[in-house]
Amino acid sequence: MANKKGKRFFLLTAIPTGSLLAFFIFFSPGLQAVAQKPNILLITIDTLRPDRLSCYGSSLVKTPNIDKLALAGVVFNRAFAHNPLTLPSHANILLGTTPLQHGIHDNGLFRVPKGLTNLAVYLQKAGYRTGAFIGSFPLDARFGLNAGFEIYDQSYPAGSGLEFIYPERKAGTVIKAAIDWLTSLANSPDDSRPWFLWLHCFDPHQPYEPPEPFTSQFKNDLYSGEVAYVDQELGRLFDYLQETSQWNPTIKIFTGDHGQSLGEHGESTHGYFAYNSTLWVPLIISSPGFQSRRIDDNVCHLDIFPTVCELLGNSPPAYLQGESLVKAMKGKKLLTRKIYFESLYA
């Protein structure tokens, strides 16, 4: 995720697994509203390949907690990021627009322009408590994604050398802080507002340093060890939500910000090339009133914001560039449309 000097922009048509992205993916909108105001949980895992999740068919890693979410939700088999970098990808998710509109093309060099409404601002205006718990520096508040969050917890260590270019904290620490915040809300009986929680875990990003027992279990595949560790820690959050009767009435959205090349096309990182390995991401949405199913239509990060709007029965901001996925969540086919992506040195 080092900064790059050049950038190239693309539209894409098809994404055959393991091959170079072409020029156009096609999509369509969906319509359906849910009247209630449920809690909303957005989980973004950095550098996460779907093929390392057992709910996406992995035989390398068992991810029982993410599988539990998938069994109760809608799994999108063909979801794609618009950037293979952390800050731009999260800007796409939270702002609902591409970098051509919000202007963030790389990590560390850009800031969200004033005047743009992100998902937290939108939900705060709709009466939500809002909290974000961040795993690493690329999403530091200085870059502007903190707007609308009453708490933006980024308590990772300060950088002090090359090894701390991207200071981070472990998923377990991030999740404990998030649970503590949810507990504080539960202990405020005079405030019954619903909550929006964004949880970001950085662990699958290089360097691959999973804690034991995952280092030993995955000594020849430490990347997969990081994924298994994150799954374990997510189980703590899921257990908390169940124990406090908040699991079922919560909209739960799980995705990766981008993928990771593990030697494909001569790349063992991300940010440079635009292949399936770096742009294909998991996307799971579990919402009250929707049955579990799998969707093979192509979808993207821009679709998350308008989907939340429709699930709440609200009109989406006019500037959003994605489409609601509620139609697909009801089992209906999406119509075709185009999607933008970009990469550095593609």
The residues, ordered by sequence, that sit 6+ positions from 168 with a Cβ below 8 Å of its Cβ are 135, 136, 137, 156, 202, 203, 205
CATH architecture of 22-343: 3-Layer(aba) Sandwich (3.40)
Mean pLDDT, 10 residues at a time, over the chain (346 residues)? 41 40 37 64 96 95 97 97 93 96 83 89 97 92 93 76 63 97 92 96 90 96 96 98 97 95 58 75 97 96 98 95 97 88 73
- Is residue 125 packed enough to be buried (19+ CB in 10 Å), middle (13-18) or exposed (0-12)? exposed
Domain boundaries, the chain: 22-343
The pLDDT score that the predictor gives to residue 277 is 73
The pLDDT score that the predictor gives to residue 161 is 39
Two structure tokens written together for 261: 């090349």
Cα 260 to chain center, whole Å? 14
Residue 94: what are its φ and ψ, rounded to 5°? -80, -25
61/57 Cα distance (integer angstroms): 9
The pLDDT score that the predictor gives to residue 68 is 97
The pLDDT score that the predictor gives to residue 182 is 98
227/148 Cα distance (integer angstroms): 29
The pLDDT score that the predictor gives to residue 269 is 55
What element of type H or E holds 77?
strand 74-80
Ramachandran class of 333: left when φ > 0, alpha when ψ lies in -120 to 50, beta otherwise: beta
The pLDDT score that the predictor gives to residue 2 is 41
Give the predicted TM-score (pTM) of the model: 0.86
Among the listed residues 87, 88, 105, 80, the one whose alpha carbon sits nearest the alpha carbon of residue 278: 80
The bridge status of strand 39-45 relative to strand 195-201 is parallel
